[in-house]
A and B are shown apart, each in its own frame.
Chain A
Amino acid sequence: MCDDDTAMIRGVLTIFALVAVIALPWQLAAVLALLAGTLVPPVPLACGLLAEALYWAPNISAVPVFALSGAIATSGLYIVRGRIKASIIE
């Protein structure tokens, strides 16, 4: 698979994940965000921030749960990618 195809897949997954935050149940949006995050790690954080911008209100929830979850998922994905790449290089 050439770089252009990979880039297109990353772009499509990223856009799907962001649209899913608005259009799909949040459970499905979370799964899509994690799936896209395997190729584009910042996507879970971006989806979490978008969900908070759309749905969070201080009198509904004291803590922006989805932004925090996205940040944790993105950090985890970066760590896993780093380990995988390090093992490949070694």
Chain B
Amino acid sequence: MRKTYLARRNALLSRTRFTWGASALLFALFAVALRVAAPNVFFAAVAPLERSAAAATRSVRAAMPRSAAGLLAQNDVLVRENAALAAENRALVQKSVDLLALLDATSSAPTVPGIVAGVLAAPPEDPYGSLMLAVGSRSGVSEGMEVFGDKDIPVGTVTTVLAAQSRVALFSAPGQKMNAWVGQQQLPIVLVGAGGGAFSASIPSTASVAIGDAVYVPGPGALPIGQVTRVDRSPSSPSAELRIAPAANPFALAWVVLRPGTQVLQSALSCATTTRP
């Protein structure tokens, strides 16, 4: 006679559910252990995944549909910018030819000083508002180096260096504060990182700061870091709140340049942060 019986099952966990949950936990614990024990090996293994993910994210973002009017306006701006850059390029090439002839030099085009680094991970994938770069101590990177995006716009400083990767704390990360100035009157302000690449600052309500005013941080000369996009004034408050959009969008950074830290920019970090004692 055929015997039937029911296997005893745990009311909370079945063997199947436990397997997937346990596998996920074991995988995560293994990742943590590898990160602690051998960080260079861990990040070397993860770097190709992060690079692919970052490239896929950028291509998806570029392919996302936008309004026709917005695209047309953007196209007009880009066409004008392209024409201006082409004219400037022709003038610079001619100037370079003239100078080389004058100096009787045979060198090639001047190189931009600094270390060029690819960005492996950036916000919003990185939840802590930092950048992970594909260069480390082997390429000459050291803690405290300043990081610049397109058009020499400062974006952060190097805080952690491994053999082949390094981590950058963005100036716009929540909690970061730095001295800056805004507008034609060069009104001094304290820039506060608001996350997502944005900044905020407080000014006296009587100050004449308008939307579109540029914000600068000290550096060789003045380094543009953003532009005022909103001014919140309240009749009952003695101060006004500025919202500042970054000049370099950290979400779209693919390449950055690292340069040795200058005391000028470092000293602008006015308050103690998680990156500075």
Using CB atoms and an 8 Å cutoff, list the residues of chain A in contact with chain B.
3, 6-7, 10-11, 14, 17-18, 22-27, 39-43, 45-57, 59-62, 65-66, 78, 81-82, 85, 89
B122-152 contact mask (Cβ, 8 Å, vs A): 1 or 0: 0011111110100000000000000000000
Interface size class of B (residues with CB under 8 A): 35 or more
Assembly CA distance A59 to B277 (angstroms): 10
**B32 proximity list for chain A (CB < 8 A):** 49-50, 52-53
> A14-B20, A23-B57, A40-B20 are contacts. A56–B128 as well, Cβ < 8 Å?
yes
Contact of B121 among A18, A41, A54 (CB under 8 A): A54
Contact A41:B53 (CB < 8 A) given known A22-B125, A55-B127:
no
B100 within 8 A of A: no
B24 contacts A26, C-beta separation under 8 Å: no
Let me know if B12 and A81 touch, CB within 8 A.
Answer: yes
* Pairs of residues from A and B, 3 with the lowest C-beta to C-beta distance, nearest first: A42-B21, A25-B124, A26-B127
Interface mask (B240-277 → A, CB under 8 Å = 1, otherwise 0) = 00000000000000000000000000000000001100
Bound complex: CA A23 to CA B35 (Å) = 19
Question: Roughly how many angstroms separate A27 CA and B220 CA in the complex, as a whole number?
Answer: 37
Give every chain A residue within 8 A of B53 (Cβ-Cβ).
22-23
Interface hub of B12, B21, B34 (most chain A Cβ within 10 A): B21
Shortest distance between the CB of A16 and any CB in chain B (Å): 11
B12 touches A42 (CB 8 A): no
| Residue of chain A at shortest CB distance from B160 | A57
Is B20 within 8 A of A11, CB to CB? yes
A3 and B16 contact, CB distance less than 8 A? yes
Please give me the residue from chain A that is nearest to B33 by CB atom.
A53
Q: A11-B20, A22-B46, A23-B57 are contacts. A60–B31 as well, Cβ < 8 Å? A: no
CA distance in complex: A52, B124 (Å): 15
Which residues of chain B have a CB within 8 Å of any CB of chain A? 11-12, 16-17, 20-25, 27-29, 31-32, 34-35, 42, 46, 49-50, 53, 56-57, 121, 124-130, 132, 159-160, 167, 169, 173, 274-275
Q: Is the interface of B mostly helix, strand, loop or mixed?
A: helix
User: Bound state CA distance, A77 and B225, in angstroms?
Assistant: 44
Q: Are A10 and B17 in contact (CB under 8 A)?
A: yes
Set of chain A residues within 8 Å of B12, measured between Cβ atoms: 78, 81-82, 85
A-B contact count (CB 8 A): 116
Contact across chains for B24 and A59 when beta carbons are under 8 A apart = no
Which residues in B have their C-beta under 8 angstroms from that of A66?
127
Given A18-B24, A22-B50, A85-B11, residue A7 in contact with residue B16 (CB < 8 A): yes
Contacts of A82 in B (CB 8 A): 12
Instruction: Pull 22 A–B residue pairs with CB atoms less than 8 Å apart, ordered by A.
Output: A6-B16, A7-B16, A10-B16, A10-B17, A14-B23, A22-B125, A24-B57, A26-B127, A27-B124, A42-B22, A46-B28, A49-B28, A49-B31, A50-B27, A50-B31, A53-B35, A55-B121, A56-B128, A57-B167, A59-B159, A59-B160, A60-B130
The complex places the Cα of A22 from the Cα of B35 at a distance, in Å, of: 15
Q: Output the least CB separation between B241 and chain A (Å).
A: 25
A3–B56 Cα distance when bound, in Å, is 35
Cβ contact within 8 Å between A59 and B49: no
Least Cβ–Cβ distance between B23 and chain A, in angstroms: 8
Residues of chain A lying within 8 A (CB to CB) of residue B167: 57, 60
Looking at B12, B22, B31, B53, the one whose CB has the most chain A CB atoms below 10 A away is B31
